[in-house]
């Protein structure tokens, strides 16, 4: 049976999923990289791909890669990723895997969105965005049926929108960004050093800790304002929220929906669907596989 | 000679421009509506179109319309525009002009962007955005060579992004929006009633008025933060700025560029072009005409 191999290169693991063009999973593997700053991630990528092929006793028809950074315009390599995964920048994946077909390379957040639109929370969507809330805030956007890539492949960096022009600048210089308002990376700063991850913060809110509650609700108000902004710019039908912080479930979604009832522009009552992403950390590999099956026909 | 008639319906005037498929202007007319809340704008639309045809002694090959509001998915009418231009909502323009061909209807800001990409400040661009700074703040986005429309046709409402989740809500409920930070509509509030339009404000800054200077520079910082955000979301190569406030010229662009040197993400040194729009209030009519010439071939 023909299958696509989706490979998702992350800082801690490389995932590989073998999936048919209809979305049936045949095999999968995950191999630790040993650290985002070591060159060993390449071995992990080879091992993950090899493990899946060994299990299936056959080679993939298509391969697609999801990776952090900005893909080159030809979508065959990552053109820009400073300071992480040494050797990824510029790597030609078709050569790396010695594969007979072109291997498309997609930004990891963009791949996760494509995965969710293929097999997850926004199937067959024409207009959807994904926000992943974790250490940082990632994102991607599908508008009018097409993934936004942009001039440098950076379209959809939804975590880097300003909610305070006078705020501190984040890793890409955005002042007072959404990432700084809700990402785990900023929680120590937001809590005067009391909390370092959202799970602990949420546990404290459940114990009735007033500071924790204020910090959490402020971050959700900021998220709601950001989503209202993105709705006005990208006009999605569905907003998907993934990443570790989305595991908060109703403690996230209930106050978020309350704020959106105030902040969202609802022309003639039309309301955007706010839903949890469904594919978790497999979304990127699914999206990469999906890209691979359609790349030669429609490279966009 | 074949020509397209671009009709731009505004609250104060209806403009009509006859232009060849290569962008040569053959004739134009502008007719006052008598007020955005009166039904007389329809007569103005007929008169403007008729004036141009009379001058040319011939009928257009194509007609396109730019209008405020959200176009329907079939792009044949405006589906949503409460409270202004009575009778525009739902109006079938092909029937209105009794025209043999389909008449595409584009949102006015989206049309202005298409006009600038065709004949103005971002010719042949694949990735460009337009911000119009006037009473309010309008906008539109072209990404990967395509105008963003979105689920309800509202994509590109770039003035309605939040720069302060705790701020007052604007006309579409966005808290502390870009429009509230720089639009003339909010200047009385931002200046404690001292100023009602940006021209007077700028005159005061030239006289050395410290308050005026602070208000102006705050609004530009907010604009810079918003543009940095939009760069991260839409990844344009060119950001065009139009509208009355853009007439401030270097007094706008110099401090804006200074702030962007701090706020903009410049991967590998890549810098977005920040330029003034070139077509002024004719941009929408040009964009409508352009749309008309390509609509039957490629209705998007």
Percent of chain A with pLDDT over 90: 94
Q: Minimal Cα–Cα distance from B290 to chain A, Å?
A: 20
What pLDDT does B82 receive? 87
Does pLDDT of A300 surpass 80? no
| A153 vs B contacts (CB less than 8 Å) | 235
Question: Which of B80, B224, B230 is nearest residue A268 as measured by Cβ atoms?
Answer: B80
pLDDT digits (tens, 9 = 90+) for A156-198: 999 999 999 999 999 999 999 999 999 999 999 999 999 998 9
Does pLDDT of A272 surpass 70? yes
What is the arithmetic mean of pLDDT over B266-284?
97
Residue with structure tokens 């459940």? A206
Strand A105-107 versus strand A62-67 pairing type: parallel
Nearest residue of A to residue B224 by CA position? Answer: A165
Question: Which of B127, B156, B263 is nearest residue A173 as measured by Cβ atoms?
Answer: B263
Q: Which two tokens stand for residue A77?
A: 């390599």
What pLDDT does A114 receive? 98
Does pLDDT of B299 surpass 80? no
Q: How far is CA B60 from the centre of its chain?
A: 24
What pLDDT does B175 receive? 98
Q: What residues have CB less than 8 Å from B100, skipping those under 6 apart?
A: none
| B126 vs A contacts (CB less than 8 Å) | 151
Contact B233 A236 (CB under 8 A): no
Q: Minimal Cα–Cα distance from B217 to chain A, Å?
A: 12
Contact A163 B165 (CB under 8 A): yes
Question: Which of B127, B160, B224 is nearest residue A232 as measured by Cβ atoms?
Answer: B160
What is the DSSP code string of chain A?
---EEEEEE-SSEEEEEEE-TT--EEEEEEEE-S-TTSTTHHHHHHHHHHHHHHHHTS--SEEEEEESSEEPTTSSSEEE-TTSSTT-BT--HHHHTT-SS---EEEHHHHHHHHHHHHSTTTT-SSEEEEEESSSEEEEEEETTEE---TTS-TT-TT--BS-TTSPB-TT--BTBHHHHH-GGGHHHHTTTS-SSHHHHHHHHHTT-HHHHHHHHHHHHHHHHHHHHHHHHH--SEEEEESGGGGGTHHHHHHHHHHHHHH---GGG---EEEE-SSGGGHHHHHHHHHHHHHTT---
Cβ-count burial of B269 within 10 angstroms (0-12 exposed, 13-18 middle, 19+ buried)? exposed
DSSP annotation of B72: P
What pLDDT does B300 receive? 61
Contact B232 A165 (CB under 8 A): no
- What is the average pLDDT value for chain A, to the nearest integer? 96
Q: Is B151 helix (H, G, I), strand (E, B) or coil?
A: coil
What pLDDT does A78 receive? 97
Is there a contact between A126 and A145 (Cβ–Cβ < 8 Å)? Answer: yes
Question: Which of A160, A267, A268 is nearest residue B232 as measured by Cβ atoms?
Answer: A160
| A169 vs B contacts (CB less than 8 Å) | 262-263
Q: Where residue A289 falls among pLDDT bands split at 50, 70, 90?
A: very high
Contact A173 B141 (CB under 8 A): no
| B221 vs A contacts (CB less than 8 Å) | 165-166
Is there a contact between A255 and A245 (Cβ–Cβ < 8 Å)? Answer: no
Q: Which two tokens stand for residue B54?
A: 């009379």
What pLDDT does B46 receive? 97
Is there a contact between B180 and B186 (Cβ–Cβ < 8 Å)? Answer: yes
Does pLDDT of B94 surpass 90? yes
Contact B150 A141 (CB under 8 A): no
Q: Where residue B295 falls among pLDDT bands split at 50, 70, 90?
A: confident
Cα angle for residues B277, B283, B286 (degrees, 5° grid):
140
pLDDT digits (tens, 9 = 90+) for A110-140: 999 999 999 999 999 999 999 999 999 999 9
Q: Minimal Cα–Cα distance from B109 to chain A, Å?
A: 13
Question: Which of A126, A175, A229 is nearest residue B161 as measured by Cβ atoms?
Answer: A229
Q: Minimal Cα–Cα distance from B270 to chain A, Å?
A: 9
What pLDDT does B141 receive? 98
Does pLDDT of A296 surpass 90? no
DSSP annotation of B161: -
Dihedral of the alpha carbons of B198, B204, B209, B210, in degrees to the nearest 10: 20
Does pLDDT of B198 surpass 80? yes
What pLDDT does B296 receive? 76
Test mutation, A143, A158, A259, chain B, max B CBs within 10 A:
A143
Question: Which of A150, A175, A236 is nearest residue B234 as measured by Cβ atoms?
Answer: A150
Q: Minimal Cα–Cα distance from A224 to chain B, Å?
A: 8
Nearest residue of B to residue A153 by CA position? Answer: B235
pLDDT digits (tens, 9 = 90+) for A30-46: 999 998 888 899 999 99
What is the arithmetic mean of pLDDT over B237-259?
97
What is the arithmetic mean of pLDDT over A230-237?
98
Test mutation, B84, B161, B218, chain A, max A CBs within 10 A:
B161
Question: Which of B174, B228, B268 is nearest residue A173 as measured by Cβ atoms?
Answer: B228
Does pLDDT of A61 surpass 80? yes
Contact B149 A157 (CB under 8 A): no
Q: Where residue B112 falls among pLDDT bands split at 50, 70, 90?
A: very high
Q: Minimal Cα–Cα distance from B4 to chain A, Å?
A: 26
Buried b (16+ CB within 10 A) or exposed e, B236-249: bbbbbbbbbbbebe
Nearest residue of A to residue B147 by CA position? Answer: A144
What is the arithmetic mean of pLDDT over B164-184?
97
Test mutation, A225, A230, A255, A273, chain B, max B CBs within 10 A:
A225
pTM beyond cutoff 0.95: yes
Longest dimension (CA), chain B: 59
The CA distances from residue B46 to A152, B100, B101, in Å, are 44, 16, 17
| B181 vs A contacts (CB less than 8 Å) | 165
Strand B238-242 versus strand B128-133 pairing type: parallel
What pLDDT does A184 receive? 94
| A261 vs B contacts (CB less than 8 Å) | none
Nearest residue of B to residue A223 by CA position? Answer: B165
Is there a contact between B219 and B181 (Cβ–Cβ < 8 Å)? Answer: yes
Q: Minimal Cα–Cα distance from B275 to chain A, Å?
A: 17
Nearest residue of A to residue B230 by CA position? Answer: A161
Test mutation, A83, A131, A161, chain B, max B CBs within 10 A:
A161
Cα angle for residues A68, A139, A160 (degrees, 5° grid):
95
Test mutation, A165, A174, A267, chain B, max B CBs within 10 A:
A165
What pLDDT does B297 receive? 74
Q: Where residue A299 falls among pLDDT bands split at 50, 70, 90?
A: low
What ipTM was estimated for this complex? 0.97
Is there a contact between B207 and B201 (Cβ–Cβ < 8 Å)? Answer: no
Q: Which helix H or strand E contains B189, and what residues bound it?
A: helix B187-190
Does pLDDT of A65 surpass 80? yes
What pLDDT does A95 receive? 97
| B163 vs A contacts (CB less than 8 Å) | 162-165
Q: Minimal Cα–Cα distance from A72 to chain B, Å?
A: 12
Percent of chain B with pLDDT over 70: 99
Q: Which two tokens stand for residue A23?
A: 């979305």
Contact A151 B236 (CB under 8 A): yes
Residue with structure tokens 């330029």? B275
Contact B234 A232 (CB under 8 A): no
Instruction: Round the CA-based radius of gyration of chain A to a whole number and report it.
Output: 19
Does pLDDT of A79 surpass 80? yes
What pLDDT does A55 receive? 97
């Amino acid at each position: 049976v023909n299958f696509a191999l989706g490979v998702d290169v992350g800082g801690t693991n490389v995932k590989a999923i073998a999936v048919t063009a209809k979305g049936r999973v045949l095999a999968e593997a995950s191999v630790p990289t040993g650290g985002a700053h070591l060159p060993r991630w390449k071995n992990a990528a080879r091992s993950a791909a090899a493990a899946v092929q060994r299990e299936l006793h056959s080679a993939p028809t298509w391969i697609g890669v999801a990776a952090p950074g900005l893909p080159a315009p030809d979508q065959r390599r990552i053109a820009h990723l400073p300071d992480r995964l040494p050797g990824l920048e510029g790597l030609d994946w078709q050569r790396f895997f010695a594969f007979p077909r072109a291997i498309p390379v997609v930004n990891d957040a963009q791949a996760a969105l494509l995965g969710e639109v293929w097999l997850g929370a926004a199937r067959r969507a024409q207009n959807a965005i994904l926000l992943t809330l974790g250490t940082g805030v990632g994102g991607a956007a599908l508008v009018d049926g097409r993934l936004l890539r942009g001039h440098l492949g950076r379209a959809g960096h939804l975590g880097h929108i300003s909610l305070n022009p006078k705020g501190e600048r984040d890793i890409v210089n955005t002042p007072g960004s959404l990432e700084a308002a809700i990402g785990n990376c900023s929680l120590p700063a937001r809590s005067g050093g009391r909390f370092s991850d959202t799970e602990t913060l949420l546990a404290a809110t459940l114990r009735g800790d007033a500071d924790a509650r204020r910090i959490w609700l402020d971050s959700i108000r900021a998220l709601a304002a950001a989503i209202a902004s993105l709705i006005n710019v990208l006009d999605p039908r569905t907003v998907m929220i993934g990443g570790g912080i989305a595991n908060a479930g109703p403690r996230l979604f209930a106050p978020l929906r309350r704020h959106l009832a105030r902040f969202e522009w609802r022309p003639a009552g039309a309301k955007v669907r706010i839903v949890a992403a469904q594919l978790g950390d497999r979304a990127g590999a699914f999206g990469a596989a999906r890209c691979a099956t359609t790349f030669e026909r429609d490279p966009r």
